[in-house]
């Protein structure tokens, strides 16, 4: 189980990059010599050095002149196949070859065309022992956003809403009415800092006038995406402030005004979910939370374009209102949050 223990540490390191490395994957790396960790690192920010570089630099810094000998007899654990191409940084596979490491243990292969087995091939051709597939399912789940974008050419799509105990989503009188408590709100803010974008429809923007920011000290604000076919949302709305980049899909114009990006679409009443998903893919948006309203959520549900649903259910009873969406999937978690219940579903894959 030794390989699994060190790979688990790679995953613990990798998750530290959440919200900061997209559209790259989250990657952790641990370097072990004679059953002792001598260096570790993770991919910290898009455009900066990768996990393997940070781990090797840790060894070089800590051990100085001893480092080259230690590395030649070390096992490098990395949660994703080392890259084999020149992107924003040089290939990590070349770095491991340069330091003549003895063994490399990999969580899973990188499906990106420029890598996809080429990193493993470089290591093997250099005479390095390679083991792959260690904690593969856990490594894949960690980077589900990245794998969805590469394999399906669309972002990882998270549906999120709150509903009353009797299944209502919004009041009939188009007023703002809170359903969940403080814990659910704080969790929602954290999610915003972890994903690339958040999407709402026109009615939600007008009725709730949300800021769609993370509210977390030091947390990253997501890109705000709004569906407003005829540009009816008042310019005084919070989405037009300077807190985050805002994309407004509409049928009127394409224009950029500081942080507000208007993107024109044709025939938005046809295949809206599919068009949005493809546009976000082209924009390098790797994950999106769709918060409503009901019509937008149902567009994505009926198109079968979603990966995860996060549903808060309160103890409040309304007796009337607009019914929450109906969705079926595999239950990943059921968590009590104060007086609320959080259910996380994954789409059943055929």
Q: Are residues 139 and 80 in the same domain?
A: yes
> Exposed, middle or buried: residue 283 (CB in 10 Å: 0-12, 13-18, 19+)?
middle
User: Does 103 count as an annotated binding residue?
Assistant: no
pLDDT for residue 193 is more than 90? yes
Both tokens of 232, joined, read: 């009816």
Whether the per-residue pLDDT at 188 is higher than 80: the answer is yes
Backbone angles phi, psi at 145, to 5 degrees: -60, -50
Q: Are residues 255 and 115 in the same domain?
A: no
Average pLDDT of the chain to the nearest whole number: 94
Q: The CATH number of the domain where 208 resides is what?
A: 3.40.430.10
Domain boundary among 126, 147, 168: 147
Q: How confident is the model at residue 350 (pLDDT cuts 50, 70, 90)?
A: low
Determine if residue 178 is labeled as part of a ligand binding site: yes
* pLDDT tens per residue across span 127-182: 999 999 999 999 999 999 999 999 999 999 999 999 999 999 999 987 888 899 99
40, 52, 81, 308: which one is catalytic?
52
Is residue 213 over pLDDT 90? yes
Residues 112 and 27: their CA atoms lie apart, in Å, by 14
User: Can you read off the two tokens belonging to residue 271?
Assistant: 């295949």
Nearest alpha carbon to residue 263 among 287, 228, 292: 228
In a shared domain, residues 132 and 167: no
Same domain membership, residue 97 and residue 195: no
Residues 6+ apart with CB under 8 A from 112: 150
In a shared domain, residues 132 and 169: no
215 annotated binding-site participant: yes
Other beta carbons within 10 angstroms of residue 142's beta carbon come to 24
52 is catalytic: yes
Bridge partners, residue 301, by sequence: none
CATH classification at residue 55: 3.40.140.10
Looking at residue 114, its pLDDT comes to: 65
Question: Is 192 assigned to a binding site?
Answer: yes
pLDDT tier, 219 (very low <50, low <70, confident <90, very high otherwise): confident
pLDDT at 112 over 80: no
Instruction: Report pLDDT for 87.
Output: 67
pLDDT of res. 106: 97
Same structural domain, 166 and 74: no
- The residue with greater pLDDT, 116 or 173, is 173
206 shares a domain with 302: yes
Q: With pLDDT > 70 as the criterion, what percentage of the chain qualifies?
A: 98
Known binding residue 92? Answer is yes
**Do 269 and 181 share a structural domain?**
yes
Tens of pLDDT, residues 236-293: 999 999 999 999 999 999 999 999 999 999 999 899 999 999 999 999 999 999 998 8
Average pLDDT over residues 223-236: 97
The answer to whether 46 and 37 have CB atoms below 8 angstroms apart is no
b (16+ CB within 10 A) / e for 154-185: bbbbbbbbbbbeeebbbbeeeeeeebbbebbb
Residue that finishes a domain, picked among 147, 172, 196: 147
Please count the structural domains in the chain. Answer: 2
Residues 229 and 342 in one domain: yes
- 204 belongs to an annotated ligand binding site: yes
Contacts of 337 (CB under 8 A, 6+ apart): 180, 181, 183, 184, 187, 312
158, 143: one domain: no
- β-partners of residue 201 are 227
What residue numbers bound the domain in which 16 lies?
3-147
162 is in an annotated binding site: yes
Last residue of a domain, one of 112, 129, 147: 147
Helix, strand, or coil here: 66? helix
> For residue range 303-342, what is the model confidence (pLDDT) as tens digits?
999 999 999 999 999 999 999 999 999 999 999 999 999 9
Judgement on whether residues 44 and 77 belong to the same structural domain of the protein = yes
**pLDDT given at position 156:** 98
pLDDT (tens digit per residue) in 24-80? 999 999 999 999 999 999 999 999 999 999 999 999 999 999 999 999 999 999 999
> Which pLDDT score is estimated for 303?
96
In terms of domains, do 142 and 164 share one?
Answer: no
């Amino acid at each position: 189980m030794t390989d699994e223990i060190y790979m688990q540490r790679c995953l613990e390191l990798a998750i530290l990059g959440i919200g900061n490395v997209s559209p790259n994957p989250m990657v952790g790396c641990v370097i072990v010599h004679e059953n002792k960790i001598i260096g570790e690192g993770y991919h910290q920010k898009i455009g900066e050095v990768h996990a393997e570089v940070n781990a090797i630099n840790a060894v070089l810094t800590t051990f100085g002149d001893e480092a080259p000998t230690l590395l030649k007899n070390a096992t490098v654990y990395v949660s994703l196949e080392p890259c084999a191409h020149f992107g924003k940084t040089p290939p990590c596979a070349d770095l491991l070859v340069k330091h003549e490491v003895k063994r490399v243990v990999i969580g899973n292969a990188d499906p990106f065309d420029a890598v996809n087995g080429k990193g493993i091939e470089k290591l093997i051709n250099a005479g390095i022992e390679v083991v792959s597939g260690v904690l593969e399912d856990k490594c894949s789940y960690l980077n589900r956003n990245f794998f969805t974008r590469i394999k399906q050419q669309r972002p990882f799509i998270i549906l999120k809403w709150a509903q009353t105990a009797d299944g209502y989503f919004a009041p009939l009188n188009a007023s703002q009415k809170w359903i969940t408590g403080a814990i659910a709100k704080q969790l929602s803010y954290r999610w915003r800092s972890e994903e690339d974008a958040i999407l709402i429809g026109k009615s939600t923007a007008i009725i709730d006038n949300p800021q769609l920011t993370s509210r977390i000290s030091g947390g990253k604000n997501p890109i705000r995406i709004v569906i407003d076919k005829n540009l009816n949302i008042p310019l005084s709305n919070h989405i037009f402030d300077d807190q985050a980049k805002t994309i407004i899909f509409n049928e009127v114009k394409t224009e950029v005004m500081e942080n507000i990006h208007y993107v024109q679409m044709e025939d938005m009443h046809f295949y809206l979910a599919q068009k949005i998903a493809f546009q976000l893919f082209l924009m390098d948006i790797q994950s999106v939370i769709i918060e409503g309203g009901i019509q937008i959520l149902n567009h994505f549900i009926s198109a079968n374009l979603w990966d995860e649903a996060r549903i808060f259910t309160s103890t409040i009873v309304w007796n009337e209102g607009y019914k929450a969406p109906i969705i079926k999937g595999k239950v990943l978690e059921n968590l009590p949050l104060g007086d609320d219940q959080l259910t996380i579903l994954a789409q059943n894959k055929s």
